[in-house]
Structure 1
Amino acid sequence: MSSSSCLPSVAPGDPSWWFSDALKAEKGRPDSAPLSGLIAVDVAIVGGGFTGLWTALALKERAPHLSIALIEAGRCGSGASGKNGGKVSGYWGSLAGMEANIGADGALAVARAGARAQDAIRAFATAPGRDVWWRDGASIRVSASPAQDAKIKGYVETAKRLGVPDIAHELTPEQVASYCRSPVFRGGVYLAEGATVHPARLARALRQAVIEAGISVYENTPMVGLDSGDPSRISTPAGAITAREVVLATNIELAKRPDVKAHVSVFSSFALMTEPAPDRLAAMGWDGDEGLADMRMFVHYFRKTVDGRVLMGSGSGPIAFAANTADPSLTTDTASAVRAEKGLRRLLPGLGDVGIAKIWGGGIDVSSDRLPFFRTVPGTRIHYGCGYSGHGVNPTYIGGQCLASLVLGAKDDWAGLPLCTRTLPSLPPEPFRAVGGRLVRWGIIGCEEAEERDHVAGPTMRAAAAIPKLFGLRIGTR
């Protein structure tokens, strides 16, 4: 049974279920005061999500003498970091795409950096006194239509070819059912590296760790101006910061910058959280802590929580024109919310009449090759990181280490990653980028929905879906 007609409303500015729950758990802990007046520090960080917070901790760990200030436009963790699905894994499942874009050696280097990040996040999340719902569990990709079956062997064959056969194992339908039973699940791929976490609680725990490390945190303090120099100057509504080094960790807002906009497009993703239904999960045999996803290009990603809820997300939200991050459709598109709910009912019919507690949307900074990048603006000491492409929890730790290395001028393994050094492909300019992207999105959604009905989409939809491959683009190709 579908309840699309009575989904919770999706309103601008609404927090995610995660963030509301995290604040409840803090029992009234006050926000950090906004910045007032002029301060001078060695390093100023703009953005209080995962990237900014991990960067602050990395810098303090490597160079304890540095004075550091971090500003956040809202509350730390209230943006993308507190809205995502909370599935934590690195890049072993992305080897094929990375190999095509940065070569086999580069792909393996990034995947191994992700493994280091996984260990480090686990150590932080499981430290005594931190309740961030960390649960180790594999990452499983499932085929949910005959058309998706062909993708399974690609994971396994790529891992074997690159000399890491143990990271990906093909699953039969019976083996998939041993993890979670659904009448639409077919075969799948088991990726050993995986975990789930409460992302907003993790962000708030990072905030607390940053404060305890002696770093000044100013919430409800947006950056309204940035002048590069020696030092650079950041203006805020009631104050300013001068700093020798500046780190910009502002997610989709970076897509507006001239040095970034050619390489990033602003997409969106929508997710819902069900009411608790532990008995239904038990009936489906979903007893472990695996995170799952289907094999659509506009993927459905799903995981359970420690209190018996299920999060279902759909990466099929609207595309903003000219990186307009204020476009209300990025957070309020009803059609995208309905797709997430339909994904829940189709993929997990055992939850067919379970209520929806909350639904929300948010922008995604999708890079031109689906990998993040970390750079220093030429001629300045301004550094930035973005382009996570919907794969943020694990890679933001990598981002924090890379940005710390750029700030410190370290020639280390982090700064040597392709994430810091590769030549970035460019996307088409506007209006072709957004208009073409929307056409491709329409075609792919239509093709994938038809495939799930075991039908073939019409020729116009198929032609639209084929545009990225036809023009040699590295995103949007099926």
Structure 2
Amino acid sequence: MNDSSARPSVAPSDPSWWFADALKQERGQPDAPRLVGEIAADVAIVGGGFTGMWTALALKRRRPGLAVALIEASLCGSGASGKNGGLMHGYWSALAGLTDLLGADGALAVARAGAMAQDGLRAFARTADRDVWLRDGGQLRVSTTPAQDARAKSMAEAACRLGVPDMARLLAPGELPQGFRPPLFRSAVFLSEGGTVHPGRLARALRRAVVDAGVQLYENTPMTGLDKGSPNRVRTAAGQIVAREVVLATNAGLATNVHIKPYVTVFSSFALMTEPMPEKLERMGWESDTGVSDLRMFVHYFRKTQDGRVLVGTGGGPLSYNGSSTATQLREDKPTVMRVEAGMKRLLPALADTPVAKAWGGPIDISSDRFPFFKTFPGTRIHYACGFSGHGVNPTYIAGQCLASLVLGERDMWSSLPLCTRELPRLPPEPFRFLGGHAIRRAIISCEDAEDRGARGSVAARGISMLPRLFGLRIGTR
């Protein structure tokens, strides 16, 4: 893996396979217009990914007469929303960490919000005028090392302690579904709430729903500035939106904001999509639509598609300096794609010789306690969502509901969630954040690679990987 001459099968590049497929299905549907001139709206939303579009739909559903305008720097769904793995899951697997952070009641409130998000996704898929490949199959968190066995056990025990044992059930090797019995799988936690979706098609279906709901949509319209006031002014290259309420839904793009920067860092995630191989999946007995991930800190995740492909990804890509989400390495890091390929061959050896159709990557915003947060800048009517931390599709639905409640000033279950109300720990300033994060990332990968070989990481790597815990941080901990 350290051979400088080594190359992945396919170099990472945009667009993702998901987004390219979604556009192909649309057969040349024209882009929304660019914003030119000044318009007025009750609410201006910046960002046409899942979060921005769920927010727009939630607002129009609750207040149909509200004037909502949404701008997207490129095409709706072309960013993180159209690049993720398409795994639907909530927070039942995170109950132990949530309980430590928020207490039992707060942990259950967040997990139940994830369940409501799952219901919301299903309801949208039923009404969307095309198949977004949403399939319920649960989620499987598999263990491949003794250290991961302990994490699996901890997940199941946390669910039992909180009185929801069926939401995170420990499986012995013989209980694993037929298609998920590769040699390395030791045990697993089965999460009945979960499944898979085509994120590109979901994003484009949301786009159409937004337009149908009467939202003024402008694509290829990046925000160039924001003037806070009463009203606010969202400036673009050729126009502006004057609005009382503003929602910033640009995810990792917010990490350089002076108010958000202390609580967020930017890593990167990479994925690959294989060529179709339905006959191999049939031989494996892989019939279910379960989303699967291992229990490493920098997880490997995988799922099959409706046309017989397999997606494999990892969240262990390079991190950025000073919160920038534009660095080339965050989208084009070939060593991380090689790690994804190696992970596929190690975890799913039956697929080792399967050709890769496409690889891609991009930035992900990681909060200081590894859970997203949805807030309003003090003294303003500007609201934002950030810190999604690679948790999949469901949290974006939660974000849309929470942001809609914040915009409308509604004191309800959404605006009362700890995701809206908790205080976050501060991260170290630069350059210590980058240098420390880079060293810790390398140390954790080294330790987990050693565990995969049945060994222990070096003393130095183990020591460095413990630093976040010593400083009371949750980010970068195993």
Paired residues in the alignment total 474
Tell me what 1:430 maps to. Answer: 430
Tell me what 2:9 maps to. Answer: 7
Tell me what 2:363 maps to. Answer: 363
Tell me what 2:195 maps to. Answer: 195
Asked if structure 2 preserves the Cα contact closer than 8 Å seen for 1:181 and 1:286, the reply is no
Which structure 2 residues correspond to residues 374-389 of structure 1 after superposition, within 5 A?
Answer: 374-389=374-389
Larger CA deviation: 459-468 vs 264-273: 459-468
Asked if structure 2 preserves the Cα contact closer than 8 Å seen for 1:182 and 1:284, the reply is no
TM-superposed CA distance for 1:126, in Å, is 2.4
Asked if structure 2 preserves the Cα contact closer than 8 Å seen for 1:252 and 1:325, the reply is yes
Distance 2:198 2:342 in 1: 24
TM-superposed CA distance for 1:127, in Å, is 2.1
Asked if structure 1 preserves the Cα contact closer than 8 Å seen for 2:8 and 2:337, the reply is no
CA 227–128 in structure 1, closer or farther in 2 if over 3 Å, else same? closer
Tell me what 1:125 maps to. Answer: 125
Q: Provide, for residues 117-141 of structure 1, a one-character-per-residue CA deviation record: whole Å limited to 9, x for no partner.
A: 1001111012262210011001001
Which structure 2 residues correspond to residues 151-162 of structure 1 after superposition, within 5 A?
Answer: 151-162=151-162
2:384 match: secondary structure:
strand
CA 473–6 in structure 1, closer or farther in 2 if over 3 Å, else same? closer
Tell me what 2:323 maps to. Answer: 323
Distance 2:316 2:241 in 1: 39
Which structure 2 residues correspond to residues 16-27 of structure 1 after superposition, within 5 A?
Answer: 16-27=16-27
Alignment-mate amino acid for residue 312 of structure 1: V
Distance 1:100 1:318 in 2: 28
TM-superposed CA distance for 1:174, in Å, is 1.4
Which structure 2 residues correspond to residues 66-85 of structure 1 after superposition, within 5 A?
Answer: 66-85=66-85
Alignment-mate amino acid for residue 450 of structure 1: A
Distance 2:222 2:461 in 1: 42
| 2:244 equivalent to 1:235 | no
TM-superposed CA distance for 1:392, in Å, is 3.4
Tell me what 1:246 maps to. Answer: 246
Larger CA deviation: 124-133 vs 458-467: 124-133
Asked if structure 2 preserves the Cα contact closer than 8 Å seen for 1:55 and 1:403, the reply is yes
Which structure 2 residues correspond to residues 79-118 of structure 1 after superposition, within 5 A?
Answer: 79-118=79-118
1:427 match: secondary structure:
coil
TM-superposed CA distance for 1:42, in Å, is 0.6
Q: Provide, for residues 260-289 of structure 1, a one-character-per-residue CA deviation record: whole Å limited to 9, x for no partner.
A: 001100011100000011111111111111
Which structure 2 residues correspond to residues 221-300 of structure 1 after superposition, within 5 A?
Answer: 221-300=221-300
1:166 match: secondary structure:
helix
TM-superposed CA distance for 1:324, in Å, is 1.4
Q: Provide, for residues 67-112 of structure 1, a one-character-per-residue CA deviation record: whole Å limited to 9, x for no partner.
A: 1100000000000000000000111111011111111110000000
Distance 2:380 2:325 in 1: 26
Distance 2:104 2:432 in 1: 32
2:127 match: secondary structure:
coil
Q: TM-score when scaled to structure 1?
A: 0.98
Asked if structure 2 preserves the Cα contact closer than 8 Å seen for 1:142 and 1:176, the reply is no
Asked if structure 2 preserves the Cα contact closer than 8 Å seen for 1:442 and 1:464, the reply is no
Alignment-mate amino acid for residue 7 of structure 1: S
TM-superposed CA distance for 1:151, in Å, is 1.4
Alignment-mate amino acid for residue 27 of structure 1: R
Return 5+ residue gaps in structure 1 as ranges. Answer: none
Alignment-mate amino acid for residue 344 of structure 1: M
Distance 1:216 1:340 in 2: 39
| 2:214 equivalent to 1:209 | no
Q: Provide, for residues 363-386 of structure 1, a one-character-per-residue CA deviation record: whole Å limited to 9, x for no partner.
A: 010001111111111111100011
Alignment-mate amino acid for residue 259 of structure 2: D
Asked if structure 2 preserves the Cα contact closer than 8 Å seen for 1:110 and 1:418, the reply is yes
Distance 1:295 1:282 in 2: 26
- State the Cα RMSD in Å: 1.2
CA 216–90 in structure 1, closer or farther in 2 if over 3 Å, else same? same
Return 5+ residue gaps in structure 2 as ranges. Answer: 1-5
Tell me what 1:346 maps to. Answer: 346
Asked if structure 2 preserves the Cα contact closer than 8 Å seen for 1:181 and 1:285, the reply is no
Asked if structure 2 preserves the Cα contact closer than 8 Å seen for 1:173 and 1:187, the reply is yes
